[in-house]
Structure 1
Amino acid sequence: MESNGDASVREFCANGTCMKTAEVEAKLDQGNIQDAETALRDGLSLTSE
């Protein structure tokens, strides 16, 4: 496992695909819930089926 010097980096994984949570968390911190949801869908290619 490579270390980038930031032990607080987290990832969200679904259906075998992972993405870093930083973008989603930043949007949630700003109160942009819809933007955060969109970032998750785009990052993980989720469908609403």
Structure 2
Amino acid sequence: MPEITEPMRKFMQSVGDKTWKELVKEAKDRDISIQELIRVEIIPMWLKSRE
């Protein structure tokens, strides 16, 4: 029987032009998408800083 998991939660975030440009640059420097940057780098770093 397949494992039952919780559904994925979604959220939206608005950022200003300056922040958007910084995100674009960081993602480009890492050769990843902005979504990947936020999901793999920024959110885990933010969660860890709150511990």
Instruction: Please report the TM-score for the alignment, with normalisation by the length of structure 2.
Output: 0.30
* Higher RCO structure (Cα 8 Å, ≥6 apart): 1
Give the number of the structure whose alpha-carbon radius of gyration is greater.
2
Which structure's residues are more often strand, by fraction?
A: 1
TM-score after normalising by structure 1: 0.30
